[in-house]
């Protein structure tokens, strides 16, 4: 049975980190909408051309274009044995279309990573990214636990200021704060998530392959709970 997994959760819940980690351990692709858009535009596919025209006009990419991108991506050979979707679906319309795409495949497993809003605001407003490769400082291998402690107090510690800029462990680039990670912007992003994306939980929660896990834990604990939830949801799909 292949692992076909959707990761749900608000910004800052750790979806990308956990999806990347699980995908490596299972030997299946982690597929994100951002990656798909960039690849389709670069490759000049039919859907990529449509997406580029929309983005060049400064407009948001529509559901039908995103659905087309996902359909193309899931038809590739490396996704035949499973995949992890991060960032798709974002709307109930996209979820409905994904169900149609999945006809004839093993069931979708849906994991919702739940984190209290106060913790999400703390994480996002203190998060740094690499100015060169774009990796989050919270990603495994980018910053140690001790360095993350310094991160959480950035701007409040004389020692941190004297130490100079922190460096990405992946490529050595300088770590900087994302422009959309200010507290007010973070709260607005979470508001948008609740309004537009959280209805997906209502769409999926009645399925035997749906599980929620506590994302307000140490990354290794979340990873263990994620693996257990995937196993339980997989058994539920056979029931």
Q: Which amino acids are annotated catalytic?
A: 15, 90, 127, 178, 189
Closest by alpha carbon to 224, among 29, 16, 22, 3? 22
CA dihedral 65, 69, 74, 79 (to 10 degrees): -150
SS3 136: strand
∠ CA 70-76-82 to the nearest 5 degrees? 80
* Distance between CA atoms of residues 236 and 230, nearest Å: 10
Cα 68 from chain centre = 19
Q: Are 96 and 205 within 8 A, CB to CB?
A: no
CA–CA distances in Å: residue 34 to residues 37, 41, 70, 85, 142: 5, 11, 11, 11, 21
């Amino acid at each position: 049975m292949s692992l076909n997994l959707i990761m749900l959760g608000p910004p800052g819940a750790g979806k990308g980190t956990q999806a990347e980690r699980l995908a490596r351990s299972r030997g299946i692709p982690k597929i994100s909408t951002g990656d798909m858009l960039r690849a389709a535009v670069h490759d000049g596919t039919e859907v990529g051309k449509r997406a580029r025209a929309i983005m060049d006009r400064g407009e948001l990419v529509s559901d039908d274009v995103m659905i087309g991108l996902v359909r193309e991506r899931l038809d590739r050979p490396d996704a035949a044995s499973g995949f992890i979707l991060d960032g798709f679906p974002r709307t109930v319309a996209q979820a409905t279309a994904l169900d149609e795409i999945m006809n004839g495949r093993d069931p979708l497993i849906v994991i919702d990573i739940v984190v209290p809003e106060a913790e999400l605001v703390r994480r996002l407003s203190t998060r740094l990214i690499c100015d060169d490769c774009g990796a989050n400082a919270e990603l495994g291998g980018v910053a140690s636990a001790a360095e993350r402690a310094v991160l959480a107090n950035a701007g409040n510690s004389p020692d941190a200021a004297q130490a100079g800029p922190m460096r990405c462990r992946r490529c050595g680039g300088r770590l900087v704060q994302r422009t959309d990670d200010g507290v007010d912007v973070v709260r607005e992003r979470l508001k948008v998530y609740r309004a537009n994306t959280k209805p997906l939980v209502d769409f999926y929660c009645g399925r035997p392959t749906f599980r929620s896990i506590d994302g307000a834990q140490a990354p290794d604990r979340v990873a263990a709970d994620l693996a257990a939830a995937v196993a339980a949801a997989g058994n539920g799909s056979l029931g």
